[in-house]
Amino acid sequence: MTMQRPSFTDQEALDFHSQPTAGKISMVPTKPMGTQRDLSLAYSPGVAIPVLAIAENADRAYDYTSKGNLVAVISNGTAILGLGNLGPMASKPVMEGKSVLFKRFADIDSFDVEVDTTDVEDFIRTVRNIGATWGGINLEDISSPACFIIESRLRDELDIPVFHDDQHGTAIIAAAGLINACHITGRELKDVKVAVSGAGAAGLSVAGLIRHLGVKRENILICDTGGVVYEGRTEKMDQFKSAFAVKTAKRTLAEAMDGADVFLGLSVKGAVTKEMVKSMAKDPIIFAMANPDPEITPEEIKSVRSDAIIATGRSDYPNQVNNVLGFPYIFRGALDVRARGINEEMKVACARALAELAREDVPDEVAAAYHGARPSFGREYIIPSPFDPRLISFIPPFVAQAAMDTGVARKPIADMDAYRRSLVRRADPSAAFLQGVQARARETQRRIVFAEGEEPAVVRAAFSFKNQGLGHPILIGREAQVERAMEQMGIPLGSLDIINARLSDKNPIYVDMLYARLQRQGYLKRDVQRLVNQDRNIFGSCMLKNGDADGMVTGVTRNYDAALKDAMLVLDPIGGQAVIGMSMVINLGKTIFIADTSVHELPDGPTLANIALEAARAVRGLGFTPRVAFLSYSTFGNPMGERGDRVREAVALLDQCTDVDFEYEGDVNADVAMNPHHRLIYPFSRLSGPANVLVMPAIHSASIATNLLEAMSRATVIGPMLFGLEKPVQIASLGATVGDIVDLATIAAYDTDRV
């Protein structure tokens, strides 16, 4: 697996931090501030009510303020990255960055606090006095040994989690990697001999955590600039190092590494030589984690040891020991049970969970982060990727459970499965919708055709669909080619159903059925035979038409229009309905549906009316109450124009229908349709609230709007989803990911129950 090194200039880095707005964080209100009433509730006089409630019981701050999801990132800038003591203001870009990572990876709100003092007591006093503001405190970039004293005291004096990430974050990720490296090399933690280079915050914390995991105290040799920390040593010693002093005759790092199973480096570039690596035991585990440059490079290690398992702190090598794998999820679990602190058991739980996740098959998001390479558990993948979307739902439950088991949780979680589902929704706003779709698919267990069955992404998607219990996948393709792809991916042969269209015993039935349909449309029987034999979309659609399957997903190798044309040669629209493409857009807690995004290029009035009918039917089937707006450049005839006339015709046609069971309105501009208070200006509007189904006047406007929302905001877009055919067919985009294919197959399975 090869990885590309990130490259940027100093000016690009400065521009990133300064443009278009200085800094990386801002505050976004969670409540509306559009009216005088809103302001009165948010501040005076309405705010007095929660004030009095909290005065009566301070824990109610978790109910009426953001405290329960708020972490402070606090530093005095005495140990900034590998740059040293540059002061509190110089640390601010790093602390802002840490706050961004909290939000990005665990949906935790966070702000940075820079404390202008190097005096330990002043620092402790300052943080203690503001500590009640936060649900937790992340200490960062504080020099050793002051960091040990500061964290220990604040943990005792505050009733919230206090966590020095430079110590424990590195320790947790390194411990996870060590668990897996020992698993691969057949070692037991209780037997390994460990040499640690670096007796600062991270080095001592790593040593403490692996000891908690089972590594024997006498088997850990810690080295600093004075050599091995041994019993009886007096130079360059303090109470924190003394806790790790052992009886040994070894005095140097070279001697400590001689015969060692494991090297953990948290010191400086060049601390380790090739000779030291040569002296280590068979299958050495070498974590050279100094930043920005490791104690010894992987290239140097590999030049003398082909059997080494290597990790570094850098993203341009495999097995990065990256703190972002730990602190967001440690705090997420701790905050969600309102833990009084973060103890060793919670750290161990996090390390073991990370180790377990690394052994799972990686999703597409991870492969994308590695530029298409798909890592798998082994010597070059012992630690999960920071881009694994499962981290948010996988790690915090282990941390929360450990907090509950050790008695530091004030708000235990009763339903851990429900908690995991809520975590998925935090990371991916589409998750709540998809979870409901998946639950229904698991109940119905539909047979879903994966038409392009020889494509590797499709094979993997079919296997994932089956493994998740979403239904029964059927791959269309030549057995030899499909099985070759399965072997290359490690998918067990025989685990997926494969149908060769040319050799299927249903072939004559499908030919007769399709010929009867197409014989008056210019098709000869041999033309139909060729279609059934050679076109997998045609064959799959015939399976649906004949009742031999329940739904189909296609489109990975063929453009949307061609795939849709194939399906419609076999399948009819639902009686009286339009076939439409509809995209689901989720952003900032709001869900809207946009139609038609893939079928009708320039619909006339009757077509727009049919699009609205089918969109409303589909949206209701997906569990939403439709409020339809026919969008236009005009609002209620201002200004008038030809395109607006078509929209108004569609509304007039719906007005004549007696069985329309949803709200609709038009012609309206988007800002009116989405405004919850638009009836103040247009009291005659029939919409009781903001529209959630937007019928676009043309396919280009639908496509542009959807793509803009996805590109310019944090919107999540699902689709376009195809609705209106007599049997469920979903068409993926060219080159769709495995996840996209699985999602569309699941929607096809869900749709079978709806139609």
Phi, psi for residue 217 in degrees, rounded to 5: -55, -45
| DSSP letters for 370-410 | TTT----SBTTBSS--TT-TTHHHHHHHHHHHHHHHTT-BS
**Binding-site residues for a divalent metal cation, please?**
140-141, 166, 291
**Binding-site residues for NADP(+), please?**
80-87
How buried is residue 60: exposed, middle or buried, by Cβ count under 10 Å (0-12/13-18/19+)?
Answer: middle
Q: At 472, list the tokens.
A: 């029964």
Q: Give the separation between CA 721 and CA 746, rounded to whole angstroms.
A: 11
Phi, psi for residue 110 in degrees, rounded to 5: -155, 140
The whole-number pLDDT of residue 207 equals 94
- Based on the domain organization, do 586 and 645 belong to the same domain? yes
Q: Are 753 and 440 in contact (CB under 8 A)?
A: yes
Q: Are 373 and 1 in contact (CB under 8 A)?
A: yes
Range of the domain at 239: 182-324
Collapsing DSSP to helix, strand or coil, 286 comes out as strand
The whole-number pLDDT of residue 751 equals 75
- Based on the domain organization, do 606 and 694 belong to the same domain? yes
The whole-number pLDDT of residue 739 equals 83
The whole-number pLDDT of residue 476 equals 96
Asked if the structure places residue 433 within a domain, the reply is no
Domain boundary among 511, 537, 570: 570
CATH of the domain at 56: 3.40.50.10380
In the chain, % helix, strand, coil (3-state, to 5) comes to: 50, 15, 40
Q: Give the separation between CA 420 and CA 434, rounded to whole angstroms.
A: 14
Amino acid (1-letter code) at residue 561: D
The whole-number pLDDT of residue 714 equals 65
The whole-number pLDDT of residue 9 equals 60
- Based on the domain organization, do 299 and 216 belong to the same domain? yes
The whole-number pLDDT of residue 740 equals 86
Scan for tokens 């530093």, then name that residue. 75
Q: Are 180 and 383 in contact (CB under 8 A)?
A: yes
- Based on the domain organization, do 150 and 208 belong to the same domain? no
CATH of the domain at 525: 3.40.50.10950
- Based on the domain organization, do 595 and 692 belong to the same domain? yes
How buried is residue 456: exposed, middle or buried, by Cβ count under 10 Å (0-12/13-18/19+)?
Answer: middle
Asked if the structure places residue 706 within a domain, the reply is yes
CATH of the domain at 309: 3.40.50.720
Phi, psi for residue 629 in degrees, rounded to 5: -120, 130
- Based on the domain organization, do 604 and 551 belong to the same domain? no
- Based on the domain organization, do 561 and 634 belong to the same domain? no
- Based on the domain organization, do 201 and 309 belong to the same domain? yes
The whole-number pLDDT of residue 746 equals 93
Asked if the structure places residue 89 within a domain, the reply is yes
Q: Give the separation between CA 63 and CA 663, rounded to whole angstroms.
A: 36
- Based on the domain organization, do 140 and 53 belong to the same domain? yes
Residues contacting residue 634 through CB under 8 Å, at least 6 positions apart = 640, 641, 644, 667, 669
Asked if the structure places residue 173 within a domain, the reply is no
DSSP 501: G
Question: Prior bond to 456 cis, omega within 30?
Answer: no
pTM above 0.75, yes or no: no
Q: Give the separation between CA 354 and CA 493, rounded to whole angstroms.
A: 30
DSSP 119: -
The whole-number pLDDT of residue 429 equals 60
Scan for tokens 């050793």, then name that residue. 144
Mean pLDDT, 10 residues at a time, the chain of 755 residues: 49 78 82 83 91 94 94 95 89 93 90 96 96 95 91 95 92 96 96 94 91 94 94 90 93 96 94 96 95 91 96 87 92 96 95 95 66 77 87 95 96 94 75 75 92 92 89 95 89 92 93 94 93 94 96 92 94 86 81 87 90 90 87 88 84 91 91 87 90 92 86 78 93 86 92 56
Domain boundary among 324, 346, 374: 324
Q: Give the separation between CA 348 and CA 178, rounded to whole angstroms.
A: 12
Q: Give the separation between CA 301 and CA 477, rounded to whole angstroms.
A: 46
Asked if the structure places residue 401 within a domain, the reply is no
- Based on the domain organization, do 45 and 77 belong to the same domain? yes
Residues contacting residue 381 through CB under 8 Å, at least 6 positions apart = 1, 318, 319, 358, 362, 375
Phi, psi for residue 197 in degrees, rounded to 5: -105, 110
Q: Is 98 in the active site?
A: yes
Domain total of the chain: 4
How buried is residue 604: exposed, middle or buried, by Cβ count under 10 Å (0-12/13-18/19+)?
Answer: exposed
Scan for tokens 């203690």, then name that residue. 128
Alpha carbon of 576 to those of 610, 613, 693, 726: distances in Å? 8, 10, 20, 11
Domain boundary among 275, 303, 324: 324
The whole-number pLDDT of residue 73 equals 97
End-to-end CA distance of the chain: give it in Å, rounded.
45
Q: Are 571 and 727 in contact (CB under 8 A)?
A: yes
E strand or H helix at 593: strand 590-595
Strand ranges inside 174-278, DSSP E: 194-197, 220-224, 227-228, 262-265
**Binding-site residues, please?**
80-87, 140-141, 166, 291
Asked if the structure places residue 707 within a domain, the reply is yes
Q: Tell me how crowded residue 689 is: count the other CB atoms within 10 A of its CB.
A: 13
Strand ranges inside 655-696, DSSP E: 663-668, 693-695
Q: Nearest Cα to 290, choosing from 82, 576, 596?
A: 82
Asked if the structure places residue 392 within a domain, the reply is no
- Based on the domain organization, do 283 and 228 belong to the same domain? yes
Scan for tokens 């009286």, then name that residue. 576
Collapsing DSSP to helix, strand or coil, 290 comes out as coil
- Based on the domain organization, do 684 and 636 belong to the same domain? yes
Identify the sign of the CA torsion 355, 360, 366, 370: positive
Asked if the structure places residue 263 within a domain, the reply is yes
Q: Give the separation between CA 151 and CA 123, rounded to whole angstroms.
A: 11
CB neighbour burial string for 385-406, b if at least 16 within 10 angstroms, e if fewer: bbbbbbbbbbbbbbbbbbbbee
Q: Tell me which of 67, 98, 347, 545 is the catalytic residue.
A: 98
CATH of the domain at 706: 3.40.50.10750
